[in-house]
Amino acid sequence: MTESEFICGIEIHQQLDTKKLFCSCDSHLCENVYDSVYRRLRPTASEMGEIDRAALVQSQKNLGYRYQLTPETSCLVELDDEPPHNVNVDAMNIALIFSEMMKAQVVDEVHFMRKIVVDGSNPSGFQRTALIATDGEVEVGKKKISILSVCLEEDACRKIESVDGEITYRLDRLGIPLIEIATGPEIRTPEECMEVALRIGSLLRATKKVKRGIGTIREDLNISVFGGARTEIKGVQELKLLPLYVQNEVDRQKMLLRVKDILVKRGTKPVNVEFVDVTEIFDGCKSKVINGALSDNGKIIAVRLPGFGGVMRCDDKKLRLGAEIAQRAKSQGVKGIFHSDELPGYGIEQKFVVNLKKFLGITDENDAFVICAAKDKKAKNALQAVIERANLALIGVPEETRDPLPDGTSKYSRPLPGAARMYPETDVPPIEITKAMMTNISNNLPEFPEKIEERLITQYGINIQQAKQIVKQDNVELFEKITNKYGMASVVATTFLNTYMELERDGIDTTAFTDEKMMGIFGMLKEGRFTKEALPALLREIASEKSVEMAIKKLGLEAIDNDEATQIIARIVKEREDFIKIKGGIRAVGPLMGPVMNALRGKIDGKKVNELLTQEIRKLME
Amino acid sequence: MVMSYSTKLSKKLETLGAEDGCKLSIEANGKTHIGTMIHHHKFSAPDIVILKLKNGYNIGIRITDHTVIKMLEKPVIKYKTDTAMEENKSLPTLVFIGTGGTIASHVDHRTGAVHPTFPISDIVRAVPEIKNLTNIRTKMLFSILSENMDISHWQKLAEAVAEEINDGADGIIILHGTDTMSYTAAALSFMLPNISKPVVLVGSQKSFDRPSSDAFTNIIACVRFCIQSKKAGVYVIMHDTPNDDSFAVHLGSRVRKTHTSKRSAFESINTTPAAHLDGNGKITFNMKLPECMNRKIKAYTDMERSTVFLQCYPGMNPELFRDVIMKSKGVVIAGTGLGHTNENMVPLITDAIKNGTVIVMTSQCINGQTNMNIYSTGRDLTNAGVISVLDMLPETAYVKLSWALANCKDINDVKRTMKTPLVNEMSERRVF
């Protein structure tokens, strides 16, 4: 890929490790639900006293929302039954500190806004958000990436389920403070996207006030291929997949541009909606999808797409407009569609395809059709979306919001929101940011990752790769805690660098090793419960959710008792009787420690071994 | 200029001709911000100008001697055109009367100012469902927060209701602030004793400009009740629970706001709500209510203004209250427990009653009825001539006493009237 093919910027949302932004609730997720409340939302009138037509249609769908109440993590504020309290001071402070770290210009007075969101993810119908700073920058390697804005906002509810016109959300996540950082569109390669995210992530963690773990940091990707359009992939949680999302999105947009070229060359015109009931054509068809729909009082409805043949799915599968179209159809609630490029197939035999084409009057091989088997109205809604999407192919890449999928691709979610409807949050007083506050913050900025690396090298005598790795893994605090208590800096550093790398290569998730577990393991190592050589095997066992004790047992690392140790030592002493006698007895203890420790495979404390060995040699000499 | 700016900044803005809604460029610390000037927040620092940026965010910018402000564009004024609503002869007609309050307040998103008024036709337009149920006439009577309501507002409101009903309205819906809505409901109950149609007061705990506002569902519930119930009387309709599909119809004389912020803030005290409505408009009646009738009504709006409402507290010092009580024609006391004051107050109360003041005892317990036979202070107060009014709410008793003093022919009539239920405001029986 050449550098000039696309532009990309990211938005990073990081949960802060404080109480909630506008109330005193704890800010963790919670499985305990004690009650629920039913609510409705309705689009509000704009300045002109008019209601957005699309929003009204949405509200007339009669969607209701159920909010699950959780103890400790939700109160009347989350439920929109009490005004927001004053903004959480700690969260505001972290946002200011981070803005200063980005060398961004902090506003003189912070004003919270209401960003209208009527999908139910917030009982109030809006998300509270404030612009804290603008025009910052972050160094990623040698390159400077601009920071357009740093915002402080509330996280939304967790979606639990959606059944029959009622969506259930849980209030626990709502109101957890988030810092939102938006970069400029200066990312030029898929890998750079991840590097920028990693760098910003490590700076966020340098504040030591952010939450850690899956779901606590989420990325939105804005990607646009030249000649394409901005699409937003929203809510990526897997950092490692970022380059893949970028690559796949770039490929998708380029594919859509190729489709457009083909269509334009052919002279394909926008298609008008014209539904044809083709149920009777499929009499006797064995397709499960077709029969399933028919037995559920469904119909088979078709639409013609003149000039769209061959681009829905070409033989080498490089053109895939069909997949795009199918995603739009699915967003209308049908299970799927069939298009002419994929038929015969899926149990629909050639004769049905021939009859259908005849029935629809399709003779040109560049002409396509799409069929949908579902209840009449549902099928028609889906096909309406199909035609709308097909017509967009003539323009190229439509602007849209997409959901990331676990395989690194994404699927259509909704059109990009228009100019955000932002209203002032009149319940939260403005917060003045004084010069004194900012001077205090800039004089007490957290240690930057590169400074931490330098310090680890000089203070603990580890090498640069190890220091970098520890910082990158966000294990600085743990590293210092372990080494300050037990020493063994180089063993700990080697574990974090080499051992972790080996384990990850084998697909082991090293983030599962909690700080407590690691402290425990190194504590036991220090006690001599096992040797450092046993560490990789031990961690491997622990990764499969074993306790440290169980892992020790399984690997046969458990301590042996004195009698057993004495027997082994006595045998070695016997074998080396000559050597001991030459050395004159007790002076052989030193040279024999090695072989004895090897034989005991670290199952017994070194000091004890020394004691037992001395005792056995004395016995021999008597 | 706006008061909360510093004099210096105020002058600077004035010289520039800058006003809320205009487009400014502000250059400070080497950075230029361009945006729309927003109404200065009362809590904003005096040297701060608030701009709405293109991305929709508002930010405050400190203006110093080095800041360069340029006026880019004058505010764009958007005029609203109010289109008349067509009448459907086959539908009933409801009159919406606006008084102000949260239910009618909104933020001007262009300038950021909060207005306690909202064109009432906009409110109706925001719940278009009701247009299929009824014809709507609207009347904007006041635009005040309900804490600023006083007797004269109650009087004007009662007159307006009577006028609309006599003009053929099938029901009246009054949009009211929630803080004092129960006082107004009580006042209308006494001022309109022969009410022949439903008169419903409704408020909201969340303003109209929020997607989650309880105003929408409350208004729909009011319309449904007015049209379907065919019951006359003064009622308050609000959320019954935190859920958006349950509503309570309270008697205007028996309702109280019992929570500062919840949407289910209103409760019927010492009685069940008159009726309940669900999200589909199904009405469940909990008591027999008067049927609607076609007759003209009259508003009895005279009120005695020398009436006071006191809350009794431990150690209440009679000397501090002597002037107040002796000067008043009527006093309602929210007493402790079954209806008591501390014994030090008894001589003052005795003097006042001898002097012609009517003193009415209620309980600050709210729930349950007063009974002054049980303890000696109660018996002393009774002997002094204090009137006990069963389980009447203190605020209802205050409104009723003001009304009775102005509408009864003499003091004995006032006392008799206070003890007689007129509009369901008191009862002998309470159940669990």
Among candidates B60, B245, B263 on the partner chain, residue whose Cβ is nearest the Cβ of A107: B60
What is the identity of the amino acid at B167?
D
Provide the b/e sequence for A125-150 (b: ≥16 CB within 10 Å): bbbbbbbbbbbbebebeeeebbbbbb
In 3D space, the residue among B41, B37, B47 whose CA is nearest the CA of residue B72 turns out to be: B37
Confidence class of residue A124 from pLDDT cuts 50, 70 and 90?
A: very high
Tell me which chain A residues have a C-beta less than 8 angstroms from the C-beta of B261: 76, 81-83
Closest chain A residue by Cα to residue B83? A49
Coarse DSSP helix, strand, coil percentages of chain A, rounded to the nearest 5 percent: 40, 20, 35
| First-last CA distance in chain B | 59
Give just the sign of the alpha carbon dihedral B91, B97, B98, B104. negative
Contact at CB, A109 and B126, closer than 8 angstroms? no
In the stretch 24-83 of chain A, residues with CB closer than 8 A to chain B read: 37-51, 56, 64, 76, 79-83
Residue A1 to residue A223: CA distance in whole angstroms: 15
**Residue showing tokens 């309406």:** A384
Among candidates A421, A424, A429 on the partner chain, residue whose Cβ is nearest the Cβ of B107: A424
Tell me which chain A residues have a C-beta less than 8 angstroms from the C-beta of B244: 38-40, 64
Residue A231 to residue A19: CA distance in whole angstroms: 34
Closest chain A residue by Cα to residue B208? A44
- Average pLDDT of B70-91? 75
Cα Rg, chain A, nearest whole Å: 32
Long-range contacts of B3-11, Cβ-Cβ distance < 8 Å, separation of 24 or more: B4/B40, B4/B41, B4/B42, B4/B44, B4/B46, B5/B40, B5/B46, B5/B47, B6/B46, B6/B47, B8/B47, B9/B46, B9/B47, B9/B49, B9/B63
Sketch out chain B's domains with CATH numbers. 7-73 (2.30.30.520), 93-285 (3.40.50.1170), 307-419 (3.40.50.40)
**A466 DSSP 8-state letter:** H
Contact at CB, A42 and B109, closer than 8 angstroms? no
HEC secondary structure over chain B: CCCCCCHHHHHHHHHHCCCCCCEEEEEECCEEEEEEEECCCCCCCCCEEEEECCCCCEEEEECCCCCEEEEEECCCCCCCCCCCCCCCCCCCEEEEEECCCHHHCEECCCCCCEECCCCHHHHHHHCHHHHHCCEEEEEECCCCCHHHCCHHHHHHHHHHHHHHHHCCCCEEEEECCCCCHHHHHHHHHHHCCCCCCEEEEECCCCCCCCCCCCHHHHHHHHHHHHHHHCECEEEEEEECCCCCCEEEEEECCCEEECCCCCCCCEEECCCCCCEEEECCCCEEECCCCCECCCCCCCCCCCCCCCEEEEECCCCCCHHHHHHHHHHCCEEEEEEECCCECCHHHHHHHHHHHHCCCEEEEEECCCCCCCCCCCCHHHHHHHHHCCEECCCCCHHHHHHHHHHHHHHCCCHHHHHHHHHCCCCCCCCCCCCC
Q: How many CB atoms lie within 10 A of CB A274?
A: 10
**A126 in B contact zone (CB under 8 Å):** yes
Q: Please answer whether residues B137 and B124 qualify as being in contact, where contact means their C-beta atoms are separated by less than 8 angstroms.
A: no
B179 part of the active site? yes
B67 part of the active site? no
Determine the pLDDT at residue A472: 81
Q: Measure Cα distances from B19 to B44, B51, B71 in Å.
A: 16, 12, 10
Residues in chain A: 622
Among candidates A41, A82, A105 on the partner chain, residue whose Cβ is nearest the Cβ of B211: A41
Confidence class of residue A1 from pLDDT cuts 50, 70 and 90?
A: very low
Confidence class of residue B2 from pLDDT cuts 50, 70 and 90?
A: very low
pLDDT of A3 higher than 70: no
Determine the pLDDT at residue A550: 80
Instruction: Give pLDDT tens digits for A341-375.
Output: 998 889 899 999 999 999 999 988 899 999 999 99
Among candidates A82, A423, A429 on the partner chain, residue whose Cβ is nearest the Cβ of B209: A423
Mean pLDDT score of chain A: 88
B178 part of the active site? yes
Instruction: Give pLDDT tens digits for B224-271.
Output: 999 999 999 999 999 999 999 999 999 999 999 999 999 999 999 999
Contact at CB, A40 and B244, closer than 8 angstroms? yes
pLDDT of B429 higher than 70: yes
**A152 DSSP 8-state letter:** E
Tell me which chain A residues have a C-beta less than 8 angstroms from the C-beta of B260: 82
Residues in chain B: 432
**Which 3 state secondary structure label does DSSP give A132?**
strand
Q: Which residue has the higher pLDDT, A340 or B115?
A: A340
Confidence class of residue A47 from pLDDT cuts 50, 70 and 90?
A: very low
Tell me which chain A residues have a C-beta less than 8 angstroms from the C-beta of B60: 107-111, 430, 432
Residue B9 to residue B12: CA distance in whole angstroms: 5
**Which 3 state secondary structure label does DSSP give A537?**
helix
Supply A593's token pair. 């420690």
B102 part of the active site? yes
Measured in whole angstroms, the distance separating CA B62 from the mean position of its chain's CA atoms is 39
Contact at CB, B213 and A44, closer than 8 angstroms? yes
- Full-model pTM: 0.83
Contact at CB, A107 and B61, closer than 8 angstroms? yes
Residue B106 to residue A609: CA distance in whole angstroms: 81
Among candidates B52, B53, B243 on the partner chain, residue whose Cβ is nearest the Cβ of A38: B243
pLDDT of A60 higher than 70: no
Mean pLDDT score of chain B: 91
Instruction: Give pLDDT tens digits for A295-325.
Output: 888 999 999 999 999 999 887 778 899 999 9
Confidence class of residue B343 from pLDDT cuts 50, 70 and 90?
A: very high
Confidence class of residue A601 from pLDDT cuts 50, 70 and 90?
A: low
Contact at CB, A126 and B211, closer than 8 angstroms? yes
Determine the pLDDT at residue A259: 94
pLDDT of B417 higher than 90: yes
pLDDT of A424 higher than 50: yes
Supply A619's token pair. 């016995």
Tell me which chain B residues have a C-beta less than 8 angstroms from the C-beta of A419: 56
Q: Measure Cα distances from A620 to A573, A580, B410 in Å.
A: 8, 9, 124
What is the identity of the amino acid at A171?
L
Instruction: Give pLDDT tens digits for B32-77.
Output: 999 999 988 888 999 999 999 988 899 999 999 999 999 999 887 6
Q: Nearest CA of chain B to the CA of A127: how many Å?
A: 11
In 3D space, the residue among B84, B87, B92, B89 whose CA is nearest the CA of residue B169 turns out to be: B92
Tell me which chain A residues have a C-beta less than 8 angstroms from the C-beta of B262: 76, 81-82
In 3D space, the residue among A152, A160, A121 whose CA is nearest the CA of residue A31 turns out to be: A160
Q: Which residue has the higher pLDDT, B311 or A502?
A: B311
Determine the pLDDT at residue B106: 67
